[in-house]
Every structure is written in C-alpha cells, then in structure tokens.
Amino acid sequence: AQARGYRVLTTVFEGGHPLEHYDWTIPTAVVLGNEREGVSEEAKALCDGGVYISMNGFTESLNVSVASALVMHHAVQDRIRRRGFHGDLTPREQATLRAVFLARLVP
C-alpha cells in the first residue's frame, strides 16, 4: 500500500495518536489487530504510525469489527468535514458502479 502512495496506520493499545489527530483525506490503509493480541510488532514496524480509538471508562479494547466500523465512520466524517464530500468517484463513475451493483442483484 505504501508503494501505491497510501499512508499505513496500525491500531495500537499504547503510543500512537487518536483518530482525531489524522487527516483522513490522505489515502490511508489501516491494519487492525485482534482484541487480545493487537497487531504484531513486525506489522507495526512496517507502518507509518499508530492510531487508537479514544475510550472512557473501563473498556480497554474493542471487537475488531466494532473498531473497524468506528475507524471507517470517523474517516468518512473527517473527509466530509474537510472536503465537503466523501469519495473520489466522478458522477459518471458513481452511476456506473451503481448500475453494476443493481445488475448483480438480478438473478
């Protein structure tokens, strides 16, 4: 991903920065680890930085599906706030993608 121009972040328990620290208009790939062990040290070493989801109370980690949903939701909201829209497809590309999706719904 880095060779293709993506910033690569990994979720971390300690260190790193909160979601709000990053500009999500920059193309970014996020490596998420499991709830118990997180991301391997090897993967962390290959990434550009660490990101964590701020939490209050006694919760120390989230299920990976919940964490990924929160990261994606924040990234979309950040892109909308900074750019006024989310996504990079032209209206024509959006229409084509929608048509392909709808065509696949028909048996």
Residues 31, 8: contact at Cβ < 8 Å? Answer: yes
Within 10 A of 68 (CB to CB), how many other CB atoms are there?
Answer: 14
Q: Record the pTM.
A: 0.81
Residues 75, 24: contact at Cβ < 8 Å? Answer: yes
Residues 16-65: pLDDT tens digits?
Answer: 999 999 999 999 999 999 888 889 999 999 999 999 999 888 877 789 99
Alpha-carbon gap, residue 101 to 83, rounded angstroms: 26
Question: Which pLDDT score, from 0 to 100, does residue 66 have?
Answer: 94
